[in-house]
Amino acid sequence: MLRKGIAVITLIVFSFTHFSCKTTVDEKDLASVTEKERSQVVILAVTKVSGETVVFDEKKPGKIKGDAIVGTAVKERSVHSYEIEEIIRSAGKIIAVVTKDGERIHAPLFEEVKEESGWITFVDYEEISIPLSDVEFIKIKKVTVTTLGAVLIVVAIFAVFAGIIAAIVSASSEEEEEEEPPPPPPGPAPPTTSCPFVYSFDGEQFVFDAEPYGGAICEGLKRTEWSELEHLRAVDGQYRLLMRNELDETQYTDELKLVVTDHPEEVRVISSITGEFHTISDPIAPTRAYDGRGKDLLYLVSEKDMRIWQTETEGRDPNRHEDLRDELFFEFPKPKHAKQVKLYVNANTTLWGSKMSREYLELFGGKVDAYYAELNRRGRFYHDFEKLVIDRGMYIMKIGVKSGDRWVTKGLLYGGGPLNAEDVVYVLDIDDVPGEILTIKLVAPVTFWMINHLAVDYSDDVQIEVEELQLYRAIAHDGRELRELLLKEDGVYYEMPELGDWAELSFLAPEQDSSFARTIFVKASGYYDMHLKREGIPRYIAILRSRYDKDFMIRYSLQNYLQREQEIKRQLAKAAF
């Protein structure tokens, strides 16, 4: 209906226009606007260098005056019913809103209050001046027409612009959902993953061994990860690695080292998500493992093997809330007075889950770099991203522990790269857990997780020797020397922008006491930038729904997964004949 309404308005405008005219509406880099154009342009919106977008009032749009853009900015504060604890009214009018976070928003402080489709929007207008040095892009309307034609076209253009804003504000409207659905299912594509691939030289060949800093999709999400290198062996006194870009993305590595741990033969060494090394002396597998439907999962997770738990999608309905998540329960024996436990988990993000992160970013269209800028400075979209990965559980799951008759979150379980799951240890405080059974609960959104193995250990850590090794030599595929770039975390990166870029790295191997075993980890810090389309109008309704509807992205993912599954079945059936 929104588009139909805009079309009708536009037709009416042009049916009354009997004058020749030329009108353009465009988004331009400010630097590309000529001096002549600056005196003519009418500015609808500004995107600052910081990534912030400022929208101007249609009656008092922005104009370039001297070294600034001057106009009346529309400032909106929208609060969805999901966020609201209480609405205070007087004589039928909203006078205040209290959010679930305890914030009180007073309507009289704003010039206008709109209530529509689950949203309450507080609108204010402010005369502002934005220095040109702060501006990156401007959305302009350039008009060369006779007087009547100009008036009518202004009406038409702003009707469209107002329609876009209305679509954003009315994100929960069923009618709008039909007009601006989530992006359509993509066509066939190769499997999608992320992060650089690290290969260890085992004495004969390079073997795929690690996939560090998964999920670090921009510099603001840069992370350091410690990944065990199971295949690495010293040859001629050196450890050799190959780091390679196997994906359609640019990879930025800030620091890369090896961490060598020497320890007694009878214990394992596993890293935490933050690089603390813990020993596993007495691992205990779960005695029970089951999902919320009562299905036994013990045979899938009791050992680290080729049997892996994943969501079963058969019979799932994307429109049924209870079909969108799997509740997983794991029971372990517990010493009655245990205060702490080491839980170690081998789990990772699915290939499909990794693909969904790319599709989420492409919702932002040509504004994805502004979104990255918000993430980098930890602006409002950073908190939206946290909601996606933690509250929704898509890439980080809460570790719930049963304490009496309630569930308490004791930690966060991180998903690794989809092709190489790592063992990660999580130290949990359990002094509030009575009895002799420890029950752990994970809530996994469908299609996003794989779990191979879980175990616990109540033993104290034993003493181990830990040594960080700096690079001895690092050579890029084009012959560049990289050692200085990768020695420390300093924001100066080795960049691999192209598929197939690689670097060979070597470290001097320290002597090993024959009475000790050795476990080696690669410590890698960095992030990556997916090669997205970076074009088109952002899908604002889908973005807002992903923010406020906890089921939206999971439902969308399952819909696409089931459609793809049906496509594959049809293709296989066709091939059989």
What pLDDT digit, counting tens, does each position of 374-433 carry?
Answer: 888 887 778 778 777 778 899 999 999 999 999 999 999 998 888 888 999 999 999 999
- CB 64, CB 43: distance < 8 Å: yes
List, in order, residues 6 or more apart from 58 with CB less than 8 Å away: 154, 158, 161, 162
pLDDT digits (tens, 9 = 90+) for 299-349: 999 998 888 999 888 899 999 999 999 999 999 999 999 999 999 999 999
- What is the distance in angstroms between the CA of the first residue and the CA of the last residue of the chain? 45
Is residue 138's pLDDT more than 90? Answer: no
Confidence grade of residue 1 (pLDDT, cut at 50, 70, 90): very low
Helices (H) and strands (E) in the chain, counts: 11, 32
SS3 sequence of 223-262: EEEEEECCCCCCECCEEEEEEECCCCEEEEEEEEEEEEEE
- Say if CB 112 and CB 123 are below 8 A apart: yes
Cα 215 from chain centroid (whole Å):
7
Query: How many alpha carbons fall within 13 Å on the CB side of residue 284?
Result: 18
Whether 238 contacts 225, CB under 8 Å: no
Reported confidence tier of residue 141, pLDDT bands at 50, 70, 90:
low
- What pLDDT digit, counting tens, does each position of 161-196 carry? 333 333 333 333 333 333 333 333 333 333 344 689
Q: CA 545, CA 388: separation in Å to the nearest integer? A: 11
Give kind and range of the element (H or E) at residue 475: strand 473-476
Q: How far apart are CA 375 and CA 364, in angstroms?
A: 13
Least confident of 29-33, 66-70, 80-84, 491-495: 29-33
Report which of residues 8 and 558 the model is more confident about. Answer: 558
pLDDT band at 30 (very low <50, low <70, confident <90, very high): low
* Contact yes or no for 453/306 (Cβ under 8 A): no
More confident residue, 9 or 384: 384
Q: Using 50, 70 and 90 to split pLDDT, how confident is the model at 156?
A: very low
Q: Is 395 helix (H, G, I), strand (E, B) or coil?
A: coil
194 is written with which tokens?
């992320």
CA 372 to each of CA 3, 52, 183, 555: distance values in angstroms, whole numbers, following the listed order: 30, 11, 20, 25
Per-residue pLDDT at 547: 82
**Reported pTM:** 0.67
Side-chain half-sphere of 304: how many Cα atoms within 13 Å?
12
The CATH class given to the 281-311+324-461+532-576 domain equals mainly beta
Please indicate whether residue 413 or residue 46 has the higher confidence score (pLDDT).
Answer: 413
What is the reported pLDDT for 65? 86
Q: Let me know: does 545 contact 171? Beta carbons within 8 Å.
A: yes
Structure tokens at 418: 């989809």
How does the average pLDDT of the chain come out, rounded?
82
pLDDT at 160 exceeding the cut of 70: no
Domain ranges (residues) in the chain: 2-179, 197-265+464-529, 281-311+324-461+532-576
